[in-house]
Structure 1
Amino acid sequence: MSGKIIAIFFALLILIVGGGMYYLQVYYYYREVTDAPAVLELAGPEGQPVQIPVRDYQGIYSVSSPLANRACFTTDPATAQTATLYEKPTPLIPPRWFDCFDVGQLSDDIDAGLAKTYLVHKDIAPKIDAVLAIYPDGRAFEWRQTNEEAEEKRTID
């Protein structure tokens, strides 16, 4: 009988710890951006910033990882035409509850050339770039991803 009690105890303990880990990874470390920017600066030619207007901003960031930032908004795509294009965009998956950022559709559209990707900021954190995708209708999606330096060394500082 005592073996069953110990087994039930450990099963419950595993469920509680697993649920806690899930909550921490999906909800606890994320925060919604409350002060939406009116303008976003992209990397431009010869280091000159290119400013684009921002409307209807929804964004999240993580207190535990510089890679966890995501944003969805609308802008005027014509204002980004002189910004630096980004060579190898790889949108990262946001938490499920941040539903404006559909990484599957965004990745497919980037591959099909339906959205252009731009460099927002190189090395916004060590070996991490901020990237933006803009559709011709003005929908825009920002994320952070590891850059080529991190890929070469397979590490993030």
Structure 2
Amino acid sequence: MSGKLLVIMIVASSLIFGAVVYYTQLYAYYEPVSADTELRLTNVVTGEPEAVIYDQFEGIDSESSPLRFRGCFSTTMSLAMLTETFEIYEHATPLVAPDWLECFDAQAIGYALEDGDAIAFLGEKNIKDGVDRVVAVFPDGRGYAWHQLNEKYDE
């Protein structure tokens, strides 16, 4: 009888621990980002970040990691104007967002960047130490932002 009780306690505590880990990874540390957050792109000439025109912003961030920032928005700025004015970001790799942030599909954004259906720009270099903000824009004005490790962490 004590063996069965021990197994039940181990299984129950494992399930509870698993549920807590799941919750903390997907929900606990994320907070919504204010809709009036300033999105900036780095100007090709000056090398300084400049505010861009956007609306319908939805985003999340976390103080536990600088890589947890994700944002979705729309802009009326054309890709032609953006590519002439702002620095293009090579090797942009969108990071997966929690499933409940439905507007951000890292896989679809990544495929679009590979196929040339979207263009990635340097938002801000070293927004946190060793982390860049990357902004991808589609021809229809949809935009996505995330943080990505920069060359400081390349081997």
TM-score by length of 1: 0.91
Deviations 1:73-116 (A, max 9, x none): 00123352311100110000001100100111111100000101
Stretches of structure 1 that go unaligned for 5 or more consecutive residues are 153-157
Asked whether the 8 Å contact 1:36–1:58 carries over to 2, the reply is no
Partners of 1:17 and 1:89 lie apart in 2 by 35
Partners of 2:112 and 2:76 lie apart in 1 by 18
Amino acid corresponding to residue 23 of structure 2 in structure 1: Y
Amino acid corresponding to residue 98 of structure 1 in structure 2: L
Asked whether the 8 Å contact 2:49–2:124 carries over to 1, the reply is no
Q: CA RMSD in A?
A: 1.3
Partners of 2:24 and 2:130 lie apart in 1 by 25
Partners of 2:139 and 2:154 lie apart in 1 by 30
The sequence identity of aligned pairs, in percent, is 38
Matched residue SS, 2:154: helix
Question: Where does structure 1 differ by over 3 angstroms across 4 or more consecutive aligned residues?
Answer: none
Shift of 1:47: 1.9
Amino acid corresponding to residue 44 of structure 1 in structure 2: N
Partners of 1:115 and 1:103 lie apart in 2 by 13
State the partner residue of 1:106: 109
**CA spacing shift, 1:70–1:84, aligned 2, 3 Å:** same
State the partner residue of 2:28: 28
Partners of 1:35 and 1:117 lie apart in 2 by 21
Q: Does residue 139 of the first structure (1) align with residue 146 of the second (2)?
A: no
Q: 1:80 aligns with which of 79, 82, 86?
A: 82
Partners of 1:41 and 1:148 lie apart in 2 by 20
Partners of 1:98 and 1:114 lie apart in 2 by 22
Shift of 1:49: 3.1
Task: Name the count of aligned residue pairs.
Answer: 151
Partners of 1:77 and 1:8 lie apart in 2 by 60
Asked whether the 8 Å contact 2:35–2:58 carries over to 1, the reply is no
Q: Does residue 71 of the first structure (1) align with residue 71 of the second (2)?
A: yes
Partners of 1:34 and 1:52 lie apart in 2 by 16
TM-score by length of 2: 0.92
Asked whether the 8 Å contact 2:35–2:56 carries over to 1, the reply is no
